[in-house]
C-alpha cells in the first residue's frame, strides 16, 4: 500500500500538469465550439453546422488528409532506400546518411520553407533546369501548387521517417541476411521476406509522425502553398484571426485534431497487427 501511495504521489505532479496544460484547454476549446457567437455567449451547434454545412470546408478537410497521405508515401519511397543503404553500407556511408538525416532538424522549419520558395519559384533551380534540359518550353513553376508543396514537405519531414527506419533496421541481425543468401534466396526475395518485415515497425512509426506533422504544418502550407491552396490549418487561422469566428475556429481545430488522431490510431493498429 505504501508503495502504491508513493507511486501515486510521484505521478501526481505530471498528472496535474497534464490536466492544467492539455485537458483544461481542450475542454475550453470544446466549450468554445458550442458557443453562440464570438463573445462566447449561450450554447448552440452553430459553429459545427457552419463548418459541416459548407462544402468548401469539407473539401479543405479532404485535401488536408490527402496532403498528409501523399507526404507519407513520398517520404517512405525516399527513406526506405536510404535506410537499406545504411544497413549494407560501410561506416563512412552510415555516418554520412545519419548526418544528412539529422542536419535538417538543426534548421528552423521557417527557414527551410522560405528556402523552398527560391527553389520552386519561376527563377528557381527546378524552373531553370526544366528549360535547360528541354523538358518544358517555359519555366516549370511549382510554387503554390500541390506537387511543389508535397516536394517541400517531403524534404522537411524526411528525418521523421528516416530516423525510425534507421533505428529499426539497426536492430536487424546480419546473420539473417547471410542465412537468406546461403539458402539461395535472391536479393529481391531477401528484401521482401526478411528486410521489409523487420522494417515495418519503423515504417509505421515514421508514417505516424510524418502524417501528423505534415497535415498540421501551417507554416509550410501557408508559405509554399500560398493563398491558392487551402487546408484546415490555414482555414483555422482565417476563422480565428481574420474573421474572429471563434466557435467555428474551435470546431475546425477539434475536427483537425480528431481526424489526425483517427488516422494515427489506424496506423498504429495496423502496424501492431502486421508486426504481431
pLDDT of residue 91: 85
pLDDT of residue 77: 93
Cα separation of 5 and 12, whole Å? Answer: 10
Q: In the chain, what percentage of residues exceed pLDDT 70?
A: 96
Mean pLDDT across the stretch 219-231?
Answer: 87
Q: How does the average pLDDT of the chain come out, rounded?
A: 85
Domain 68-229 has CATH 1.10.3720.10: yes
pLDDT of residue 40: 61
Domain boundaries, the chain: 68-229
Contact indicator for 200, 208 with CB cutoff of 8 Å: no
The answer, yes or no, to whether residue 215 has pLDDT greater than 70, is yes
The answer, yes or no, to whether residue 139 has pLDDT greater than 90, is no
Contact indicator for 29, 250 with CB cutoff of 8 Å: yes
pLDDT tens, position by position, 66-101: 999 999 999 999 999 898 888 888 888 888 888 888
Contact indicator for 83, 162 with CB cutoff of 8 Å: yes
The three cell numbers of residue 26 are: 481542450
Angle at CA of residue 272, ends 267 and 276, nearest 5°: 150
Give me the half-sphere count of Cα atoms (radius 13 Å) on the Cβ side of residue 170: 9
Amino acid at each position: 500500500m505504501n508503495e502504491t501511495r508513493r507511486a501515486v504521489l510521484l505521478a501526481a505532479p505530471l498528472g496535474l500538469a497534464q490536466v492544467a496544460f492539455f485537458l483544461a484547454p481542450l475542454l475550453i476549446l470544446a466549450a468554445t465550439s458550442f458557443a453562440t457567437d464570438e463573445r462566447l455567449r449561450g450554447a448552440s451547434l452553430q459553429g459545427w453546422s457552419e463548418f459541416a454545412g459548407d462544402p468548401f470546408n469539407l473539401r479543405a478537410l479532404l485535401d488536408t488528409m490527402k496532403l498528409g497521405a501523399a507526404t507519407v508515401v513520398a517520404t517512405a519511397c525516399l527513406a526506405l532506400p536510404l535506410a537499406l543503404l545504411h544497413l549494407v553500407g560501410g561506416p563512412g556511408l552510415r555516418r554520412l546518411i545519419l548526418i544528412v538525416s539529422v542536419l535538417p532538424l538543426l534548421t528552423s522549419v521557417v527557414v527551410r520553407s522560405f528556402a523552398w520558395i527560391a527553389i520552386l519559384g519561376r527563377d528557381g533551380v527546378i524552373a531553370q533546369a526544366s528549360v535547360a534540359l528541354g523538358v518544358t518550353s517555359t519555366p516549370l513553376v511549382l510554387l503554390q501548387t500541390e506537387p511543389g508543396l508535397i516536394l517541400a514537405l517531403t524534404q522537411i519531414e524526411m528525418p521523421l521517417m528516416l530516423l525510425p527506419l534507421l533505428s529499426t533496421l539497426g536492430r536487424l541481425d546480419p546473420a539473417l541476411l547471410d542465412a537468406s543468401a546461403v539458402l539461395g534466396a535472391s536479393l529481391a526475395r531477401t528484401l521482401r521476406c526478411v528486410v521489409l518485415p523487420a522494417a515495418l515497425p519503423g515504417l509505421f512509426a515514421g508514417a505516424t509522425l510524418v502524417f501528423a506533422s505534415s497535415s498540421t504544418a501551417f507554416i509550410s502550407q501557408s508559405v509554399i502553398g500560398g493563398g491558392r491552396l487551402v487546408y484546415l490549418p490555414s482555414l483555422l487561422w482565417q476563422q480565428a484571426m481574420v474573421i474572429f469566428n471563434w466557435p467555428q475556429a474551435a470546431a475546425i481545430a477539434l475536427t483537425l485534431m480528431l481526424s489526425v488522431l483517427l488516422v494515427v490510431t489506424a496506423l498504429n493498429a495496423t502496424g501492431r497487427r502486421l508486426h504481431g
